[in-house]
Structure 1
Amino acid sequence: MTKRMAGQVGARSDGKTHYRTSPLPLAAALVMIAVTCALGNWQLNRAHDKEARAARLQALSAQPPVVLGTAPLPQVVTDRTVRVTGRFDTARTVLLDNRPHGNGSSPGDSRAGFLVLTPLRISAASPAPAGAAGAMQAVLVLRGWLPRDAQDRTRIAPFPTPEGEVTIEGTALAAVPRVYSLGQDAAGSKIRQNLDLAAYAAETGLALHPLVLEQRSDSGDGLARDWAPADLGADRHYGYAFQWFGLAALTVVLVVVLGWRRARRVAAP
């Protein structure tokens, strides 16, 4: 008796060949179909999430800006437009390395660079919600993008920081955008890979609002602020989903065709 991948061949009592089908190929095909369909759904969900956030941002942009003061905000303001008045704490500026121009919004521009983060010490006279306890000294501002020196990453191109009191307007983010990092950044270093808001507050001793302000208004510092749109990459996720569902469909076709051919061999006289 000779074993084959799809089954085993044997002789019947009437002298005709018959096939004893192994369930393993069918089980493997079913697993493949389930996995590829799950991956396709995952990619669809990612695309839908990005489109939903883009629609949410568009709806929130029609609302008046939230004015940030020294009192904690009584509600979550993520994705809302926020306005704040204060002075930049230049000495505590942090540069986040390995950030492409536009954070992926400019496919033709692959220049490496930094994201510039500087805390803004909020003016005591800034309006704040009534009845809120405690005091927030500052808010971390994601000011913009700065190109990096190709030969020496520590050679930072000069960029001006506004002096005196300024009013900044931007979008509230829940956290600082992150990239994959192999190690931990040294506390106090100016150039880093990532920055955790709570850890940075403990490091600097500043009472920071639990949000990051992605600056939209111009402050004359020369930094690029062509931020990536919220739905960036949705089309790519749809493409990936099509590929996974296509692979699942191909597997179904192969199972049907091979099963039909096997059935014809068994039925043959």
Structure 2
Amino acid sequence: MKRKLINWKTVTMLILLALLTVIFVSLGRWQLHRADERRVIAQRIESGRALPPLTIDKHIRSSDIVQWRPATVAGHWLGAFSVLLNRNQNGRPGYWLATPMLLQEGSREAVMVLRGWFPQVLTPDAMPEFPLPEGRQTVSGDIALRVPRLFELWNFGAKPVAQLPQQIPQSSGPLPQVQNLDLAEFAKVSGLHMLPLVLMQTGPSEQGLVRDWPHPSIDADTNTGYAIQWFAFAAIAALALLISLIRLRLKSTKETSSS
């Protein structure tokens, strides 16, 4: 009786090798796409920082608001309107301190300034104070289009949980603590007219506030390295598939000749 050349195990192996080849190639292409995205991000950061410093005022044009552009703003601190954002810094829990700066006395236009990070305290009574100078002040920093967000897993697919109090400033109690701060929501509860940007204050740390702001990953070489690995796996799987097909072809030829 003539023995079957291909059984279900052989077919399964061939299909698996073909699928692995396609999957590995797809993963390699995805890593190359991620590398391109990171190069674009790096270029945007470099382009923004290369622009001349922007002076922020209420007449600022939207075309001048560029991510990572250096900027300065002059105004009066509104310390009572400050908000704390829960953020980790190098693995340590703590807070970002966000305080709006009023551009002109008697007006409502303001800019949100991220002043820095400080470590978490054990009790509300131990919360440090960060006094602000009175009078008109000038602050320098880098522009962000919004307050960098912290992904909230517990809100995924669910109704967002209200975080800010109904009114800011509050008559008493500690500063509000939130996970994320939306400028439109803050404007609604504070009555301020917030400019559509955030200033991440730069300069040396002061009063214990650390100004080491997060940056998006721009290490495209890492993704390129991963892509090469995936393409190497794809080549191995494709070579194994080719060898298996050649062996089957040779066995088929041998069986045909012997019959």
Superposition TM-score tier, normalisation by shorter sequence: 0.7 to 0.9
Kept in 2, the 8 Å contact 1:160–1:222? The answer is: no
Mark the CA change 1:42 to 1:217 in structure 2 (over 3 Å): closer, same or farther: same
Q: Secondary structure at the match of 1:64?
A: coil
**TM-score, normalization: structure 2?**
0.75
Q: Does 2:137 align with 1:166?
A: yes
The whole-number CA distance in structure 2 between the counterparts of 1:156 and 1:246 is: 54
Kept in 2, the 8 Å contact 1:70–1:136? The answer is: no
Equivalent positions of 1:1-269 (< 5 A) are 15-19=2-6, 26=14, 29-79=17-67, 80-97=69-86, 99-101=87-89, 109-123=90-104, 137-149=109-121, 151-152=122-123, 155-181=126-152, 182-183=154-155, 184-188=161-165, 190-218=176-204, 220-269=206-255
The whole-number CA distance in structure 1 between the counterparts of 2:213 and 2:103 is: 24
Aligned residue pairs total 238
% identical equivalent positions: 31
Counterpart of 2:82 in structure 1: which amino acid? Answer: T
Kept in 1, the 8 Å contact 2:102–2:110? The answer is: yes
Q: Secondary structure at the match of 2:41?
A: helix
Mark the CA change 1:200 to 1:226 in structure 2 (over 3 Å): closer, same or farther: same
Kept in 2, the 8 Å contact 1:162–1:220? The answer is: no
Q: Aligned-pair RMSD on alpha carbons?
A: 3.2
TM-superposition CA deviations, 1:54-109 (whole Å, max 9, x none): 33333333332111112242424122222110122112212211x232xxxxxxx4
Q: Secondary structure at the match of 2:147?
A: coil
Q: Secondary structure at the match of 1:268?
A: helix
Q: Identify the structure with the greater helix proportion.
A: 2
Counterpart of 1:170 in structure 2: which amino acid? Answer: G
Residue 215 (structure 1) shift? 1.4
Q: Secondary structure at the match of 1:119?
A: strand
Kept in 1, the 8 Å contact 2:113–2:201? The answer is: yes
Counterpart of 1:144 in structure 2: which amino acid? Answer: G
The whole-number CA distance in structure 1 between the counterparts of 2:124 and 2:22 is: 46
The whole-number CA distance in structure 2 between the counterparts of 1:122 and 1:205 is: 14
Q: Secondary structure at the match of 1:203?
A: helix
TM-superposition CA deviations, 1:129-170 (whole Å, max 9, x none): xxxxxx870111122211113x45885333343433211122
**TM-score, normalization: structure 1?**
0.73
